[in-house]
Structure 1
């Protein structure tokens, strides 16, 4: 029987120390560092050093910086989706729309760096490029609560009868626009929240259906 070479033993030993705990530690620390910073500021060497390892571990487990950023974006996407879903109280459809939109804004303000990773151009690991044709591969989890609440609003007549996906996309475009302006221009303005609320009111008015109109006016047409 041919004995194993020392080099083969070294490789096996090196890979053995790259366990799930180390992977999670790297991912958690990268997420923490990117919470308020753009992805280009993330240095792999100091990140690896903070976990007592080398950049080899990052390349081995994530395929490099692109793969690590894709993993961070996936975790942030899950967190935003959970936040949006947790904002729904189901007391009224219109209330859920308002709560979800407000939760979206607050998450973005608290996670400015991650926000860009989640809603911007998808960051993909080189290892995942081959799977881009897979149905749902580019789907964002955070969109699901938005689609659900818009679907409910259309179903109950709070929103007019429109294509749910088109309406949700248009609503997101409005949210993203006002949130991006707050992050880049209005961050220190005392009126920033009011700007957002004005935009939110405009969103609700623009999609208002018969049920919401009847709730706002009496049978004689007088405003309540």
Structure 2
């Protein structure tokens, strides 16, 4: 049986072993560890050891901890977007709006550490090229996270169907998100163990949706507050 020459014999660089499988493994494990933990608690050495490698691999493939956190934030963004889309049943746009908002809360409660990465100031990988960074500065909407897309679509449909009052869709979606984020953040930091936490959320959700209805406080669509 002919044996393959060693890396030393072929002159292959040490990082040649850092393939996509290893990168995916590191990212998957980092995402798992950050599900309920703050970024500062993520140790690179134990993370690398769990994948049978060294921290050199993380620096080679991600550019260090900042680059790794940026990759985790992107993955968390994708996960939240997927959770929001899975909540949509398309029975009615009003029902979908409520379902999406509740799915947002549920994902945040189940993934507190990742949620903090998703909603905080975007973590920038040190490897982002200058052209992309410049393009982001010129067009901030390029940086819209994936999870905002289903929210924007639902708000757009509500405005289009006359259920929400006429408004700029981005501004309306941002205002609604700000309210959701506020009550969810309070639950995570203050009300986590309160038996009334869910009711606080539902009360806030009903108030927010009612405030955007085409008839304002005088019109309360049954589908928007149930």
Q: How many residues end up aligned between the 2 structures? A: 210
Q: Tell me which residue corresponds to 1:146.
A: 151
* Residues 129-166 of structure 1 deviation map (CA, whole Å, 9 limit, x = unaligned): 52222255422000000000000000111101111111
Question: What SS is found at the alignment partner of 2:173?
Answer: helix
* Residues 146-202 of structure 1 deviation map (CA, whole Å, 9 limit, x = unaligned): 000000000111101111111000000000000000000000000000000000000
TM-score (norm 1): 0.89
8 Å CA contact 1:157–1:210 kept in 2: the answer is: no
TM-score (norm 2): 0.88
Q: Tell me which residue corresponds to 1:203.
A: 208
Q: In the superposition, relative to structure 1, how do residues 129 and 183 fare at CA in structure 2: closer, same or farther (>3 Å)?
A: farther
Q: In the superposition, relative to structure 1, how do residues 91 and 112 fare at CA in structure 2: closer, same or farther (>3 Å)?
A: same
Of residues 157, 161, 171, the one that matches 1:156 is 161
Question: What SS is found at the alignment partner of 2:128?
Answer: helix
Q: CA RMSD in A?
A: 2.0
Q: Tell me which residue corresponds to 2:75.
A: 75
Matches of 1:181 and 1:40, distance apart in 2: 22
Runs of 5+ in structure 2 lacking a partner?
Answer: 1-6
Matches of 2:124 and 2:105, distance apart in 1: 25
Larger radius of gyration: 1
Q: Tell me which residue corresponds to 1:213.
A: 219
Matches of 2:93 and 2:198, distance apart in 1: 22
Matches of 2:56 and 2:122, distance apart in 1: 24
Q: Tell me which residue corresponds to 1:55.
A: 55
The alpha carbon displacement at 1:214 in A equals 8.0
* Residues 44-103 of structure 1 deviation map (CA, whole Å, 9 limit, x = unaligned): 011000100000000000000000000000011001001111111111111111000000
